[in-house]
Amino acid sequence: MSGLLVDQMEWGVVERIKCFKAYDLRGRIPDELNEDIAYRVGRAYATWLSPGKVVVGHDIRLSSPSISDALVAGLIDSGVDVFHIGECGTEEIYFATSYYEMDGGIVVTASHNPKDYNGMKFVREESIPISGDSGLDEIQRLAEANDFPSVANPGTLTPLDHRAAYIAKLLEYLDLASLSGRETRLKIVVNAGNGGAGDVIDRLEPFLPIEFIKLHHEADGNFPNGVPNPLVVENRRVTIEAIAAHNADMGIAWDGDFDRCFFFDASGRFIEGYYIVGLLAKAFLDRSSDERIIHDPRLTWNTIDIVNSAGGTAVQSKTGHAFIKERMRLENAVYGGEMSAHHYFRDFAYCDSGMVPWLLVVGLMVATSKSLADLVDERMAMFPASGEINQRIEDPGAVLSRIEHQFESDCIASDHTDGLSMEFDQWRFNLRMSNTEPVVRLNVESRADESLMQDKTAEILALMGGEMV
């Protein structure tokens, strides 16, 4: 009964599968996620959604092929026709589900988790996400019950080569004529972190007059250079060093399933995702000002200021890809962004992509003849931000309550959309608890006052009293 918790109830025994989270599935191999659980998840997904055809793919982790095979077996035994795109990034499942008009899609991935983890992300038709409040809890219940109806006619398995169509879609985000018309080719350091992004760069490369300096480029589920997560400061060093060594125009790094991308300017400076949100919001609003832009509650002032100045409407959503996508569809928003480097696009099935953002940024650099630093420096000075700081705390709820009480007399606005946000005349902060561990995440920003932001960050961290993670 590996991977299961058993709860004794008066009407019998219920097996609890531990790897279901708020809006995906994530667990350690094999005790929390294994082939048996993957098979049952396939059966449960099919029983709940009743899809005719589903697209499936997996990331580069060593356990992903076997987990994917078990998932596929569960779908086929439920009468579902499976279209398998093989090794891929998460956004390729989103693309294929929408582009080929599938009834659903599942990618086997654990993104930036340690290499002994794996998981799944689920969508239904039109790449609509499935989360705890939109079906994932029911899928969990069915998988735990493990009591599925017999099916007279099993489904089929068909390989699906989506790559040419996917690459063509990505190229729509660039003005290739303008890029080719530059006197000198852009030089970009790309760090795939031994995840899946390298393959896509190789497929884009023949179409782009860009010189790529490739780091940790080959997919390797052993993660010989560490788990690909550019939010870990130590993981940025090799990208920064390569930018300097090659005199590159910028650097880009991805997480394992490349649904997030991270930027470095020509000096090697890491650009917080918050400022990329504002940059892309302005780019879309410059094309059409009467549009809605979705943002998360953690850092907001820069985005709201840009959107209002450009004539758009800024709409706040709870943090998390399922919540952002739901709000994107509700508002018909052209773009949505989270400071964590998730970027969502209406014409990409309202889904997040780690490839589209850097293509758009390259387009902006070419169109404006500006460097990445030129594009973001003014906004960084106007709204300096701490970046997300994580503290391990044993009683996160008590910490949030104590800090709210500490600052409430001076607060001019507060919000509980996602954790605790408190706003003052010249600065604001957001504190939110992790869904999966005793960690509190802090973000602080100010109005054109770097020292104030730093002082308030230090003050709140002292009040939190936790251990940095």
Catalytic residue numbers, as ranges = 111
CA distance 337 to 315: 11
Give the residue ranges of DSSP H helices in 293-413: 301-309, 321-331, 356-368, 372-382, 396-407
Instruction: Report in angstroms the alpha-carbon separations of 43 from 36, 128, 135, 153, 235.
Output: 11, 20, 14, 14, 39
Please state the separation of Cα 363 from the chain's center in Å.
22
Cα 280–281–287 angle (5° rounding)?
95
Q: What is the DSSP string of 69-116?
A: HHHHHHHHHTTPEEEEEEE--HHHHHHHHHHTT-SEEEEE--TTS-TT
Q: Is the peptide bond before 30 cis (omega within 30 degrees of 0)?
A: yes
Strand, coil or helix: 65 = helix
CA distance 32 to 52: 29
Q: What is the DSSP string of 276-322?
A: HHHHHHHHHHHH-SS-EEEE-SSS-HHHHHHHHHTT-EEEE--SSHH
Hey, what amino acid is at 39? Y
Please state the separation of Cα 341 from the chain's center in Å.
7
- What angle, 0 to 180 degrees and rounded to 10, lies between the N-to-C axes of helices 356-368 and 273-287? 70
Please state the separation of Cα 444 from the chain's center in Å.
21
What lies within 8 Å, CB to CB, of 150 at 6+ separation is none
Q: Starting at the edge strand that comes first in sequence, how are the strands of the sheet with 210-215 ordered?
A: 210-215, 186-191, 250-254, 261-264, 270-271
